[in-house]
Protein backbone atom coordinates (compact mmCIF):
# COMPACT_ATOMS: atom_id res chain seq x y z
CA UNK A 1 0.00 0.00 0.00
CA UNK A 2 1.24 3.51 -0.81
CA UNK A 3 2.24 5.97 1.89
CA UNK A 4 -0.98 7.00 3.69
CA UNK A 5 -2.43 10.34 2.63
CA UNK A 6 -5.38 10.80 5.00
CA UNK A 7 -4.56 8.73 8.11
CA UNK A 8 -1.54 8.74 10.42
CA UNK A 9 -0.55 6.76 13.51
CA UNK A 10 1.32 8.90 16.03
CA UNK A 11 2.71 7.27 19.18
CA UNK A 12 3.59 9.01 22.44
CA UNK A 13 3.91 7.59 25.96
CA UNK A 14 2.24 4.30 25.09
CA UNK A 15 -0.76 5.87 23.34
CA UNK A 16 -1.17 5.59 19.59
CA UNK A 17 -3.38 8.20 17.93
CA UNK A 18 -5.03 7.18 14.68
CA UNK A 19 -5.62 10.60 13.13
CA UNK A 20 -8.05 11.12 10.24
CA UNK A 21 -7.34 14.15 8.05
CA UNK A 22 -9.28 14.15 4.79
CA UNK A 23 -10.53 17.68 4.05
CA UNK A 24 -13.06 18.98 4.63
CA UNK A 25 -15.20 16.59 6.70
CA UNK A 26 -13.23 13.31 6.82
CA UNK A 27 -15.74 11.71 4.45
CA UNK A 28 -15.03 7.99 4.39
CA UNK A 29 -14.10 6.75 0.95
CA UNK A 30 -12.22 3.59 0.01
CA UNK A 31 -8.79 5.11 0.42
CA UNK A 32 -9.57 6.52 3.85
CA UNK A 33 -11.00 3.31 5.29
CA UNK A 34 -8.15 1.21 3.90
CA UNK A 35 -5.68 3.61 5.53
CA UNK A 36 -7.64 3.34 8.78
CA UNK A 37 -7.40 -0.46 8.49
CA UNK A 38 -3.63 -0.32 8.01
CA UNK A 39 -3.23 2.01 11.00
CA UNK A 40 -5.40 -0.24 13.16
CA UNK A 41 -3.37 -3.32 12.26
CA UNK A 42 -0.12 -1.49 12.97
CA UNK A 43 -1.41 -0.17 16.31
CA UNK A 44 -2.48 -3.66 17.28
CA UNK A 45 0.93 -5.13 16.49
CA UNK A 46 3.25 -2.47 17.91
CA UNK A 47 4.55 -3.19 21.41
CA UNK A 48 5.06 0.54 22.10
CA UNK A 49 1.32 1.10 21.64
CA UNK A 50 -0.66 0.01 24.69
CA UNK A 51 -3.85 2.01 24.10
CA UNK A 52 -5.30 3.83 21.08
CA UNK A 53 -7.17 7.08 20.42
CA UNK A 54 -9.11 7.63 17.18
CA UNK A 55 -9.36 11.34 16.37
CA UNK A 56 -10.66 13.35 13.45
CA UNK A 57 -9.24 16.71 14.46
CA UNK A 58 -10.58 19.79 16.21
CA UNK A 59 -13.51 20.43 13.84
CA UNK A 60 -15.04 17.09 12.90
CA UNK A 61 -14.66 13.38 13.64
CA UNK A 62 -16.13 12.07 10.37
CA UNK A 63 -19.29 13.36 8.75
CA UNK A 64 -20.10 10.05 7.07
CA UNK A 65 -19.35 8.03 3.98
CA UNK A 66 -18.48 9.64 0.66
CA UNK A 67 -22.02 9.76 -0.76
CA UNK A 68 -20.89 11.00 -4.18
CA UNK A 69 -18.76 7.87 -4.62
CA UNK A 70 -21.44 5.57 -3.21
CA UNK A 71 -24.21 6.99 -5.39
CA UNK A 72 -22.58 5.54 -8.51
CA UNK A 73 -22.79 1.93 -7.25
CA UNK A 74 -25.45 -0.72 -7.78
CA UNK A 75 -26.17 -3.61 -5.38
CA UNK A 76 -23.36 -5.77 -6.76
CA UNK A 77 -20.85 -2.95 -6.54
CA UNK A 78 -21.94 -2.02 -3.05
CA UNK A 79 -21.67 -5.65 -1.89
CA UNK A 80 -17.95 -5.59 -2.67
CA UNK A 81 -17.41 -2.05 -1.34
CA UNK A 82 -19.41 -2.78 1.81
CA UNK A 83 -17.43 -5.92 2.59
CA UNK A 84 -14.16 -4.00 2.40
CA UNK A 85 -15.56 -1.25 4.62
CA UNK A 86 -16.79 -3.82 7.16
CA UNK A 87 -13.36 -5.47 7.12
CA UNK A 88 -11.68 -2.14 7.83
CA UNK A 89 -13.99 -1.40 10.73
CA UNK A 90 -13.55 -4.95 12.05
CA UNK A 91 -9.81 -4.25 12.15
CA UNK A 92 -10.47 -1.24 14.39
CA UNK A 93 -12.90 -3.15 16.62
CA UNK A 94 -10.39 -6.00 16.82
CA UNK A 95 -7.45 -3.94 18.09
CA UNK A 96 -6.48 -6.02 21.16
CA UNK A 97 -5.95 -2.91 23.28
CA UNK A 98 -8.21 -0.26 24.84
CA UNK A 99 -9.49 2.16 22.16
CA UNK A 100 -11.03 5.58 22.80
CA UNK A 101 -12.80 7.65 20.12
CA UNK A 102 -12.28 11.40 20.54
CA UNK A 103 -15.34 12.94 18.84
CA UNK A 104 -15.58 16.60 17.86
CA UNK A 105 -18.20 18.10 15.57
CA UNK A 106 -20.07 15.54 13.51
CA UNK A 107 -19.83 11.76 13.78
CA UNK A 108 -22.60 10.69 11.43
CA UNK A 109 -23.31 7.55 9.44
CA UNK A 110 -20.01 5.83 8.73
CA UNK A 111 -18.33 8.31 11.06
CA UNK A 112 -20.34 7.20 14.06
CA UNK A 113 -20.01 3.58 12.94
CA UNK A 114 -16.24 4.08 13.19
CA UNK A 115 -16.65 5.54 16.69
CA UNK A 116 -18.75 2.48 17.60
CA UNK A 117 -15.67 0.32 16.93
CA UNK A 118 -13.93 1.95 19.91
CA UNK A 119 -14.36 0.76 23.49
CA UNK A 120 -15.22 4.26 24.73
CA UNK A 121 -16.41 7.52 23.18
CA UNK A 122 -15.52 11.01 24.45
CA UNK A 123 -17.71 13.73 22.88
CA UNK A 124 -17.25 17.45 22.73
CA UNK A 125 -20.15 19.48 24.07
CA UNK A 126 -21.23 20.60 20.59
CA UNK A 127 -20.78 17.19 18.93
CA UNK A 128 -23.61 15.60 16.95
CA UNK A 129 -23.89 11.87 16.33
CA UNK A 130 -26.37 9.73 14.45
CA UNK A 131 -27.19 7.26 11.70
CA UNK A 132 -28.91 9.35 9.00
CA UNK A 133 -28.74 6.70 6.23
CA UNK A 134 -32.53 6.25 6.21
CA UNK A 135 -32.83 9.80 4.83
CA UNK A 136 -30.97 8.57 1.74
CA UNK A 137 -33.24 5.58 1.26
CA UNK A 138 -30.78 3.06 2.70
CA UNK A 139 -29.73 1.68 6.08
CA UNK A 140 -26.43 1.72 7.99
CA UNK A 141 -23.99 -0.66 6.35
CA UNK A 142 -20.90 -0.68 8.56
CA UNK A 143 -22.18 -1.64 11.99
CA UNK A 144 -24.85 0.96 12.68
CA UNK A 145 -27.60 -1.61 13.07
CA UNK A 146 -25.49 -4.23 14.86
CA UNK A 147 -22.90 -2.56 17.10
CA UNK A 148 -25.36 0.20 17.93
CA UNK A 149 -28.09 -2.22 19.06
CA UNK A 150 -25.58 -4.12 21.17
CA UNK A 151 -24.45 -0.85 22.77
CA UNK A 152 -27.79 0.78 23.61
CA UNK A 153 -30.42 -1.90 22.97
CA UNK A 154 -32.78 -2.46 20.03
CA UNK A 155 -35.38 0.22 20.82
CA UNK A 156 -32.87 3.08 21.04
CA UNK A 157 -31.02 1.78 17.99
CA UNK A 158 -34.29 1.71 16.04
CA UNK A 159 -35.08 5.27 17.16
CA UNK A 160 -31.80 6.50 15.65
CA UNK A 161 -31.86 4.31 12.53
CA UNK A 162 -35.58 4.76 11.71
CA UNK A 163 -35.53 8.56 12.10
CA UNK A 164 -31.98 9.40 11.02
CA UNK A 165 -31.97 12.20 13.57
CA UNK A 166 -28.89 13.91 14.92
CA UNK A 167 -28.27 13.49 18.65
CA UNK A 168 -26.51 16.15 20.72
CA UNK A 169 -23.77 15.33 23.18
CA UNK A 170 -25.80 15.42 26.40
CA UNK A 171 -28.56 13.22 24.98
CA UNK A 172 -25.88 10.91 23.59
CA UNK A 173 -24.46 10.59 27.10
CA UNK A 174 -27.92 9.85 28.54
CA UNK A 175 -28.58 7.20 25.87
CA UNK A 176 -25.22 5.47 26.30
CA UNK A 177 -23.95 6.60 22.89
CA UNK A 178 -21.15 8.51 24.66
CA UNK A 179 -19.14 7.75 27.77
CA UNK A 180 -18.06 11.31 28.56
CA UNK A 181 -18.91 14.84 27.42
CA UNK A 182 -16.31 17.59 27.83
CA UNK A 183 -15.74 21.08 26.41
CA UNK A 184 -14.87 20.91 22.72
CA UNK A 185 -11.30 22.08 23.27
CA UNK A 186 -10.67 19.29 25.80
CA UNK A 187 -11.86 16.29 23.76
CA UNK A 188 -8.49 15.04 22.56
CA UNK A 189 -6.58 15.59 25.80
CA UNK A 190 -9.38 13.88 27.76
CA UNK A 191 -9.33 10.86 25.43
CA UNK A 192 -5.53 10.66 25.63
CA UNK A 193 -5.62 10.86 29.44
CA UNK A 194 -8.16 8.04 29.53
CA UNK A 195 -6.06 5.97 27.12
CA UNK A 196 -2.85 6.66 29.05
CA UNK A 197 -4.42 5.46 32.28
CA UNK A 198 -5.53 2.25 30.58
CA UNK A 199 -2.12 1.87 28.92
CA UNK A 200 -0.56 1.41 32.36
CA UNK A 201 -2.51 -1.83 32.82
CA UNK A 202 -1.40 -5.37 31.93
CA UNK A 203 -1.56 -5.65 28.11
CA UNK A 204 -2.23 -9.39 27.94
CA UNK A 205 -4.99 -9.23 30.55
CA UNK A 206 -6.56 -6.20 28.87
CA UNK A 207 -6.56 -8.02 25.53
CA UNK A 208 -8.13 -11.07 27.16
CA UNK A 209 -10.77 -8.96 28.90
CA UNK A 210 -11.69 -7.19 25.66
CA UNK A 211 -11.94 -10.49 23.82
CA UNK A 212 -14.01 -12.12 26.57
CA UNK A 213 -16.55 -9.28 26.57
CA UNK A 214 -16.74 -8.67 22.82
CA UNK A 215 -16.84 -12.31 21.74
CA UNK A 216 -18.94 -13.36 24.73
CA UNK A 217 -21.75 -11.02 23.67
CA UNK A 218 -22.32 -13.21 20.61
CA UNK A 219 -22.29 -16.51 22.51
CA UNK A 220 -24.84 -18.34 24.67
CA UNK A 221 -24.07 -17.72 28.35
CA UNK A 222 -22.53 -21.13 29.01
CA UNK A 223 -20.19 -20.79 26.02
CA UNK A 224 -19.28 -17.26 27.08
CA UNK A 225 -18.44 -18.50 30.56
CA UNK A 226 -16.26 -21.23 29.04
CA UNK A 227 -14.43 -18.59 26.99
CA UNK A 228 -13.92 -16.44 30.08
CA UNK A 229 -12.64 -19.40 32.09
CA UNK A 230 -10.16 -20.38 29.40
CA UNK A 231 -8.81 -16.86 28.93
CA UNK A 232 -8.58 -16.41 32.72
CA UNK A 233 -6.56 -19.60 33.12
CA UNK A 234 -4.21 -18.80 30.21
CA UNK A 235 -3.09 -15.61 31.97
CA UNK A 236 -1.54 -17.72 34.74
CA UNK A 237 1.30 -18.53 32.35
CA UNK A 238 2.27 -14.85 32.03
CA UNK A 239 4.90 -12.75 33.79
CA UNK A 240 2.31 -10.01 34.32
CA UNK A 241 0.12 -12.33 36.40
CA UNK A 242 3.08 -13.34 38.55
CA UNK A 243 4.19 -9.72 38.97
CA UNK A 244 0.67 -8.50 39.69
CA UNK A 245 -0.04 -11.07 42.39
CA UNK A 246 3.41 -10.74 43.93
CA UNK A 247 3.01 -6.95 44.09
CA UNK A 248 -0.43 -7.33 45.66
CA UNK A 249 0.87 -9.65 48.37
CA UNK A 250 3.89 -7.49 49.12
CA UNK A 251 2.53 -3.94 48.68
CA UNK A 252 -1.26 -4.09 48.26
CA UNK A 253 -3.35 -3.43 45.14
CA UNK A 254 -2.59 -1.05 42.29
CA UNK A 255 1.19 -0.85 42.56
CA UNK A 256 2.33 -3.45 40.01
CA UNK A 257 4.28 -2.59 36.88
CA UNK A 258 3.37 -4.68 33.84
CA UNK A 259 5.62 -5.54 30.90
CA UNK A 260 3.18 -7.31 28.59
CA UNK A 261 4.92 -10.68 28.90
Q: Which sequence positions are flagged as catalytic?
A: 65, 110, 113, 133
Determine the distance from the C-alpha atom of residue 180 to the mean position of all C-alpha atoms in its chain, rounded to a whole number: 14
Half-sphere exposure of 149 (CA within 13 A, CB side): 13
Contacts of 47 (CB under 8 A, 6+ apart): 260
CA distance 210 to 216: 10
DSSP 51: E
The neighbouring-strand residues paired with 20 are 7
Give the gyration radius of the chain's Cα atoms. Answer: 19
Backbone angles phi, psi at 176, to 5 degrees: 90, 10
User: Strand ranges (DSSP E) for 6-50?
Assistant: 7-12, 15-20
Amino acid sequence: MAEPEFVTLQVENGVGTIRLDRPKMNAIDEQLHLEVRAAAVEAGERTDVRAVVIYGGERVFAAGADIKAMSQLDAAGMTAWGKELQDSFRAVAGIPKPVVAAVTGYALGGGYELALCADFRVLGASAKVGQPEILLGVIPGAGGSQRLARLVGPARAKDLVFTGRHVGAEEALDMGLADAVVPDAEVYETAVAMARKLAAGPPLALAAAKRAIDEGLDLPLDEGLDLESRLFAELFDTEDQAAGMRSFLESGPGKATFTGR
